[in-house]
Amino acid sequence: MAKASCIPPREQRERRDLTQQRTQLVQERTGVVNRLQKVLEDVNLKLSAVFSDITGLSGRAPRL
């Protein structure tokens, strides 16, 4: 005999979908930042030694 399955309410399904989408976007952003850092290191710009986060506020601020 098959076990009855529970279909969550619509609001819960939408919340779950949004959470999964946000997780995927954060992972994609992390990949892009890592690729950016690698490209910069390939051209001998090791910004990670100066900035903790090259895409953060201090990494994007113009240097005077």
More confident residue, 36 or 12: 12
Closest by CA position to 47, among listed 64, 30, 56:
56
- Does the pLDDT of residue 62 top 70, yes or no? no
What was the pLDDT predicted at 23? Answer: 96
Question: Any idea where the domains of the chain sit in the sequence?
Answer: 27-64
Give the Å distances, CA to CA, from 51 to 26, 40, 45, 56. 20, 13, 12, 8
**Chain centre distance of CA 7:** 30
pTM: 0.68
- Does the pLDDT of residue 6 top 60, yes or no? yes
Mean pLDDT over each residue of the chain, to the nearest integer:
85
CA 40/CA 32 separation, integer angstroms:
12
Q: What is the mean pLDDT of residues 35-39?
A: 89
